[in-house]
Amino acid sequence: MADWHEITGGITAPRGYRAAGITAGLKPSGLPDLALILSDVEAIAAGVFTTSQVRAACVDYCRQRLQAKQNARAILCNAGQANAATGTQGWFDALESAMTVAQALNIPSESVLLASTGVIGQRIKMDKLKAGIPQLIAALSETGSDAAAGAIITTDLVPKSIALETTIGDRPVRIGGIAKGSGMIHPNMATMLAFVTCDAVVSPALWQQMLSRAADRSFNSITVDGDTSTNDSLIALANGQSRTPAIIEMGPEAEKLEAMLTAVCQHLAKAIARDGEGATCLMEVQVTGAHDETSARQIAKTIAGSSLVKSAIFGRDPNWGRIAAAAGRAGVPFEQENLQIKLGDFLLLENGQPLSFDRAAASAYLKQAAAGAYLKEDTVLIFVSIGNGYGSGKAWGCDLSYDYVKINAEYTT
């Protein structure tokens, strides 16, 4: 039983945060495209970023800022232009963006973190961004989470948001989050942005450790299409406004806080996978019997990322051979006579031996998941066991449809 419960409010549910999202004219569509998250006080800041060698200016900016100073007040995010592979001028644009917000808020520029999303190779439309900053700040609100969530998306079909509450030291502690992502999604991390706020009091080193572990169990365990982006950013703030006892080392209270942080990240990660471009259903792969959690997650991610598995799911074909093949090439040693595969309630393979099963019923199970798209009933569950080890792990993905090609063939046009 979880030690927390879901609440409303998203990114502004924790105490001491405001957010806003506006239309600044950065997107050709005229949809909202500029978001700001602000803590009333300096907050402990942590981040996890793309592993790509081709990185957006905002990623390098945030890495430098967090290495020098592990706190922040604000996160500015623009949608429409990725500001990646934009050279020296793209870097200067990032600096100017932070400076513009900082001056308008009367805070140090190093207290502003940045994120961008959109087309690679395109600089931010700085004239429009700077002109929109006063309106953005004026729109800041303790109920501004939904507006911010809507302003950071690109090809997403739906905004992604969550907030949870628990009790630490007899006082409520909250964590909220918003995210965007739909395509170019693959560990490590994905073309995704995620912003998390928390009102607990936690040490900088511990907050970073918690976030890194939560990322491994969530955003680093999803895949849509096997492509890693230039802009992936997960940024988390903890501003201490809950007035709870300080958490400075691992223990029961730290474990509770990390578990809730992981739950927030997993909810957002699954929402991204569920909203995969052209997807009709969410896939959850659960692997058990491995030597350790890392090995189990590696197999789960390989299965979830297999184009053949994803295509079979879209075709409503219970082709367990593709699942077995993906598990076998994951780079994790195991004896194939120990392999077991289940699709939902259908046991397809046991002790490395194929079993008779109702193929029509298994196909109907996949069709039912597709019919429940964007609902909790849309998840295709794949269970794989490779032995008797204690290691278990999960990964999430989506099916691969005709629409994925159509969406990405026309993305810049």
Check: CB of residue 260 under 8 Å from CB of residue 3. Answer: yes
CA atoms within 13 A on the CB side of 394: 16
**262 is annotated as an active-site residue:** no
Helix 307-314 vs helix 320-328: crossing angle, to nearest 10: 160
Residue the block writes with tokens 């439309």: 125
Strands 340-343 and 346-350: antiparallel
Helix 307-314 vs helix 293-305: crossing angle, to nearest 10: 60
Q: How far is CA 119 from CA 82, 123, 273, 313, in A?
A: 5, 9, 20, 29
Check: CB of residue 46 under 8 Å from CB of residue 66. Answer: yes
| DSSP 8-state class, residue 315 | T
CA–CA dist 344, 283 (Å, integer) = 11
Q: How far is CA 49 from CA 161, 273, 392, in A?
A: 20, 18, 25
CA–CA dist 10, 212 (Å, integer) = 21
Name the region of 240 (left: φ>0; alpha: ψ -120 to 50; beta: rest).
left
Query: Token digits for 65?
Result: 């800022």
Catalytic residue, chosen from 191, 223, 228, 379, is: 191
Q: Which three-class secondary structure string do you get for 131-153?
A: HHHHHHHHCCECCCHHHHHHHCC
> What does the DSSP assignment read for 184-213?
S--SSS-S-EEEEEE-S-B-HHHHHHHHHH
3-state class percentages of the chain: helix first, strand second, coil last, to nearest 5: 35, 30, 35
Q: Considering only CA atoms, which of 140, 297, 164, 109 is closest in space to residue 218? A: 297
Q: Based on DSSP, count helices (H) and strands (E) in the chain, helices before strands.
A: 11, 15
Q: Which residues are catalytic?
A: 191
